[in-house]
Each structure stands twice: as C-alpha cells, then as structure tokens.
Structure 1
Amino acid sequence: MIKLQHVSKTFRVGKNKIEALKDVSLEVNKGEIFGVIGFSGAGKSTLIRCVNLLERPTSGEVFVDGHDVLKLKKKALRQMRRKIGMIFQGYNLLETANVYDNVATPLKLEGVPNEEIKARTEKYLEIVGLTDRKSAYPSQLSGGQKQRVAIARALAHEPEVLLSDEATSALDPNTTDAILELLLRVNKELGITIFLITHELNVIQRICDRVAVMENGRIVEQGSVVDVFTRPQQPMTKRFISTESKFQIPSTVKDDLLKSGRLVKLTFLGESSKDPILATLAKQYDVLPSIIAGGIDQLKNQSVGKLLVHLKGDKTQVEIAVGFLHDQDVLVEEVKD
C-alpha cells in the first residue's frame, strides 16, 4: 500500500544543510498497522509527511497504492490525497466550529453532496463515540474527545490509508489506551491501513503488526513487533527498549545478586508462556530460581511475559539449567556488571 525507496530529505537553514532522512526504504502492506519509533529528532515526522507530500523528498521514490506520487500532476495528487487521511498530535480543529461542522466542513469544500455529507458525518461520529457531542465546541472537549473528532474528520473522506503523527503523545495513559482501541477498530472493521509514528513503546506494542526503528534519519532495524522487541539486534533498539524496561534495579542490589549467582532476563513467547518452567527447573536441577521483577506486555495479537530471575546454585548446575531454558524456547539474556 505504501512503499518508500531510498528516500532522503535535506533541509537548508541558511548556509547549513540538515539531513532529516537518509536513504530510507520501507513497505507498508495493505490492511496492516505499521509503526515507526525513535527518539526526538530521529526524522519520524519528516518521514510520514513524505507519504502525502506535505514534505517533498529531496531524492527517492514514494508509492501509494502502486502510484508514484512524485510524478502525479496537481489534480491527480489532490485525488490521491483524498485516499490518505491524517491525524496529528495537535488535533488541528476549527475552534469556532462545533464537532459536527469540524467533520462536515472539509467535505463541503470538496464538493461532496449535502446528503452524503450528513450521512458520512453522522456515521463517523458514531464510530468514534461522539454522536452526543456533535453540537459541542473544541473548547468544551477533553483532549481525547478532540482527537476523536480529528479521527472522524479523517475517516469522513473514506481513505484507504490513515497516517498518524504522534496522535497520542499529548494524552494521558487511559485516554491513550482508548484511542489505541479506536484505531484497532478502524483498522479491523473498516480495513484501513494505518501508518503511524511515535516515541511511545506501548503504542507500538499494543496495536502494530510491524515496526521500524529510526535513528538520525535512518532506519536501523525493522520487522515484526515480536521479533524487534524480543530479539533486538541494533544498539539503538536495545537502548530504546531499556528506557522502558521493568528491570531497573539499584546497582548495589544487582552487585549482590551477581556475587551469589547468575542474573538473567527471561522472555516467554507462545507455548513457553503457559508452562510452569521455573518450577520444573527447580525440581529437576540443583538450582534455586528467584524472581526479582517481571511483567506481561500485551502485543496486538500476543502476550509476552518477561522476568528478571536470579539463579542460585552450583555453577555447573546453573549452566545446565540455562540450557534447559533455551530448550524450552525461552529467550535468555544474561545481565552482567
């Protein structure tokens, strides 16, 4: 549905050049939710704005639904943009218009017939759960409600693709969860492909099928959410995940644990998450496992269990026990000094 090939973007600020994107290539499949994550300044916003040419790439190719958008004439580009909805962190609502008119006005400007405008506006306000607020003004709405209006406005154009530029960054955790559930519904029930950027790990984990990790204008790693965040390959990805880790413990505690055994991070996927593996390990080997920290991450289609475990016992037995964990398809990462 979206294909970027060797896309670069350079900005000129006075005599200086800023390379916001450097040879970026990725592909978003029809019907999936694809996320791009990275710290501030990584180039995420520039990247997503290149899809609908709010920013024109300096070089490279951009395809949407098989069309090379960089080669489209003005009229064809306008028609293509109607297939691409976009929501922003700042909502971009008309403060002097009520909820109904915020959704309906862009349709009027496109020349959509009045009956169709009414039908679409009411349909998508119902989908986002704001039918009872259609006469309210933005100043009377919460942040989550404003974002729902923005989503309804984008959906009213009945796009094939929805771009989300940090759409939940200004929201509290509970409201973020509600918006993510709404985006999941939009993707599943309406079949709309969603391409989003974020710096929030939980957004990627909750709703995305695949993810790309950006650093300094480049994509350093990409793949399925499960693979990237349970088997990170690049230092940047590992660093990003560690900032969200449940396993931050005081250095003095870690030092004491390392003196008396091995400290390992265990990740349980699929069938391994259902079995009492640590209990089995304690019974079969002369090793005492102690859980130091842990939790469960809910991905879009799968739960991932993570534990920080101290293994105390004879070195040989501990080594055998670690081998047993590997055999049970448990991902094992040793924590060192």
Structure 2
Amino acid sequence: MIELSNITKTFVSKKGKVEALKNVSLNVRKGEIFGVIGYSGAGKSTLIRCVNLLEEPTSGTVKVDGEELTSLSAKQLLDARRKIGMIFQGFNLLKTATVYENIAIPLKLTGVPKNEIKERVEKYLTIVGLMERKDAYPAQLSGGQKQRVAIARALAFEPSVLLSDEATSALDPDTTEAILELLLKINKELGITILLITHEMHVIQKICDRVAVMENGEVVEQGMTLDVFTAPQHYTTKKFVNSIFNHDVSEDIIDSLKDQGKIVSLKFIGNTSKEPALAYVSKKFEVFPNILSGHITHLKGQPFGSLLVHLNGEEPEVKKAIDYLLEEGVQVEGEVNYDVNSKRIPS
C-alpha cells in the first residue's frame, strides 16, 4: 500500500547541509497499522511528510496504492493526495467555522456535490462520535474533540491511507486512549491503512501491527511489533522497551547481589505470561528467585511481562534453572548493564 524506497532528504541552509533522512525504505501493507517511533530529531516527521510529498525527497521513490507519486504532475499529485488523509498534532481547524463547516468546506473546495457533502459530513461525524456537536466552534471543544473533528475531516475524503503525525502528543492519557481506540475502529471497520509516527511507546503497544524504529534519519530496526520489542537488537529499541518496564533498581542493591548467583531479565510473552514457571524453579532446583522489579503490559493485545530477577544459588543450579525457563518459553537475558544515562538495561 505504501512503499518507500531508498528515501533521502537533505536540507540546505546557510549553516550547511542537514541529512534528515538517509536511505530509508519501508513497506506498509494494505489494511495494517504501521508505526514509526523515534526520539526527537530522529527524522520521523520528515519521513511521514515525504509519503504525500509535503516534503519532496532528495532521492528515492514513493509509491502509494501502486502509484509512484514522485513521477506525477502537479495536478495528478493533487488528485492522489485526496486519497491520503492526514491528521496532525495541532488539529489545524478553522477557528471561525463550526465543526460541520470544518469538514464541509474542504470538500466544497474540491468540487464534491452539495448533497454528498452533507451525507459524508454526517457519516463521519457519527463515526467519530461528534454528531451532536456539529454546530459548535473549535473554541468550545476539548482537545480530544478537536482531534476527532480533524479525523472526521480526513476521513470525509474517503482515503485509502491515513497518516498520523504525532496525533496524540498534545492529549492527556485518557483522551489519548480514546483516540487510539477510534483509530483501531477506523482501521477495522473502514479497512483504512494507517501509518503513524510517535515518540510514545504506549501508542505503538496499543494499536500497531508492525513498527520501525528511527535514529538519526535511519531506520535501525523494523518488523512485527511483538518481535521487535520482545527481542530488541538496537540500543535505541532497547531504550524504548526499558521505558515501558522501568526496572528502577538501585545500583547498591544490584552490586550487593551480583556475586550471589545471577541477575537476569525474564520476558514472558503470550501464553508464557500465564504459566507459573518461575514458581517451579525453587522446587526443581537449589535456586531461590528474588524478584527485584516486574511489570506486565500488552503489545497489540498480546500480554508481555518483564521481570528483573536475582537467581540466588550455585552456578550449576542457576544454569539448570535458566535452561528450564528457556524450555518453558521464557526469554532470559544475562547480566544487567548500565546505559549512558546510568540507568540499567538488559544487555
């Protein structure tokens, strides 16, 4: 549905050149929700703006629904963009127009018949749950309601693709949750492919089928959300995973225990999170598990638990215990190391 091939973007200013994107390639499948996550300055916003050519790539090709946008004329590109909806962090609503008019005016400007405009506006206001607020003005709406209007406006063009540029970043946690549920509903019921960018792990966890991790203008890791975040390879990905679980155990505690057995990170994924594998360890082996920190979360509905555990025992028994946990489907990662911010993360 969306195919980005070897995309580069270089900005030139008086201070010199800045490489915002470096040879980025992504393939977003039809009907999925694909997330791109990265810290500030990673190149996420530039990347998503290249999809509809709000930013023209310096090199590389952009295909949406089989059509290569980088080869289109200005008129053809305008037509193609109508099938690519976009929602922004700042909502971009007309302050002097009602909710109804904010959706209807763009349709009118593109020549949609009057009777069809009314039908579309009411349809999509109903989908986003704001039909009763159609005569309100943006100043009378909450942040979440404004974002719902922006989503309805994007949907009114009946796009095949919806781009989300940090759409929940300005919202409180409860409102963010409601907007994410709405995006899931839109994806499921309307079959719209969604590509979103974010710096929030919760957004990726909640709705994304697949994910790409960006750092310094490059995609450093990508794949199924569950695979990427349960077995992260790149340092940046590990930092994002660590931000979910936040195993904040003091250095003194870890240092006092590391010579009495082994400190490991255990990950329980899917059905393994429901099995009492760790409880059996002390019964089967001369090992006494001590849980230092633990959390359970979900990745696109799949339970994902992480424990930081001290396995107290002699080395041969600890090894047997680890082998047993591995056989039971538990991921076991070795000694805990420091990151550059002096927070410990699994190696």
TM-score by length of 1: 0.97
Match of 1:249 in 2: 249
Contact 2:51–2:62 (Cα < 8 Å) also in 1:
yes
Give the 3-state SS of the residue equivalent to 2:334 in structure 1. strand
Query: Runs in 1 of length 4+ with deviation above 3 angstroms?
Result: none
| 1:132 partner amino acid | E
Q: 1:253: how far off?
A: 1.9
Instruction: Give distance in 2, aligned partners of 1:238 and 1:336.
Output: 12
Match of 2:12 in 1: 12
Match of 1:119 in 2: 119
Match of 1:307 in 2: 307
Match of 1:223 in 2: 223
Q: Which moved more, 1:293-302 or 1:207-216?
A: 293-302
* Residue 168 of structure 2 is aligned to residue 168 of structure 1: yes
Match of 1:262 in 2: 262
Instruction: Give distance in 1, aligned partners of 2:152 and 2:98.
Output: 13
Match of 1:30 in 2: 30
Q: 1:288: how far off?
A: 1.2
Instruction: Give distance in 2, aligned partners of 1:301 and 1:307.
Output: 19
Q: 1:335: how far off?
A: 3.3
**Superposition map of 1:189-204 within 5 A:** 189-204=189-204
| 1:20 partner amino acid | A
| 2:23 partner amino acid | D
Instruction: Give distance in 1, aligned partners of 2:229 and 2:74.
Output: 41
Quick one: structure 1 residues 290 and 324, their matched pair in 2 at CA, closer, same or farther if it must change by over 3 Å? same
| 1:6 partner amino acid | N
Q: Which moved more, 1:257-266 or 1:26-35?
A: 257-266
Q: Which moved more, 1:10-19 or 1:250-259?
A: 250-259
Instruction: Give distance in 2, aligned partners of 1:139 and 1:256.
Output: 57
Match of 1:69 in 2: 69
Give the 3-state SS of the residue equivalent to 1:323 in structure 2. helix
> 1:17-68 deviations in whole A, cap 9, x for unaligned?
1110010011000000001110100100000000000000000011001111
Instruction: Give distance in 1, aligned partners of 2:259 and 2:90.
Output: 51
Q: 1:239: how far off?
A: 2.5
Match of 1:132 in 2: 132
Instruction: Give distance in 2, aligned partners of 1:172 and 1:38.
Output: 20
Match of 1:46 in 2: 46
> 1:76-135 deviations in whole A, cap 9, x for unaligned?
111111110000000000011111111111111111111111111111111111111111
Give the 3-state SS of the residue equivalent to 2:106 in structure 1. helix
Q: 1:333: how far off?
A: 1.2
Give the 3-state SS of the residue equivalent to 1:54 in structure 2. coil
Give the 3-state SS of the residue equivalent to 1:95 in structure 2. coil
| 2:327 partner amino acid | D
Give the 3-state SS of the residue equivalent to 2:258 in structure 1. helix
Question: How much is the aligned-residue C-alpha RMSD, in angstroms?
Answer: 1.2
Match of 2:276 in 1: 276
Match of 1:294 in 2: 294
User: Percent of aligned pairs with the same residue?
Assistant: 62
| 1:253 partner amino acid | I
Q: Structure 1: 5+ residue runs without aligned partners?
A: none
Match of 2:95 in 1: 95
Instruction: Give distance in 1, aligned partners of 2:129 and 2:297.
Output: 27
Q: 1:302: how far off?
A: 1.2
Instruction: Give distance in 2, aligned partners of 1:301 and 1:284.
Output: 32
Instruction: Give distance in 2, aligned partners of 1:256 and 1:142.
Output: 51
Q: 1:245: how far off?
A: 3.1
Number of residues of Structure 1 aligned to a counterpart in Structure 2: 337
Contact 2:245–2:294 (Cα < 8 Å) also in 1:
no
Give the 3-state SS of the residue equivalent to 1:259 in structure 2. coil
* Residue 335 of structure 2 is aligned to residue 317 of structure 1: no
Contact 2:4–2:26 (Cα < 8 Å) also in 1:
yes
Match of 1:335 in 2: 335
Q: Structure 2: 5+ residue runs without aligned partners?
A: 338-347
Instruction: Give distance in 1, aligned partners of 2:294 and 2:133.
Output: 41
Contact 2:245–2:295 (Cα < 8 Å) also in 1:
no
Match of 2:340 in 1: none
Quick one: structure 1 residues 266 and 71, their matched pair in 2 at CA, closer, same or farther if it must change by over 3 Å? same
* Residue 149 of structure 2 is aligned to residue 152 of structure 1: no
Q: 1:334: how far off?
A: 2.1
Q: 1:9: how far off?
A: 0.4
Q: 1:179: how far off?
A: 0.6
Q: 1:148: how far off?
A: 0.6
Q: 1:322: how far off?
A: 0.7
Contact 2:263–2:308 (Cα < 8 Å) also in 1:
yes
> 1:212-264 deviations in whole A, cap 9, x for unaligned?
11111111111111111111111221223224433121111222232333221
| 2:81 partner amino acid | R
Contact 2:144–2:179 (Cα < 8 Å) also in 1:
yes
Give the 3-state SS of the residue equivalent to 1:105 in structure 2. helix
Q: 1:15: how far off?
A: 4.9
| 1:262 partner amino acid | K
Q: 1:75: how far off?
A: 1.9
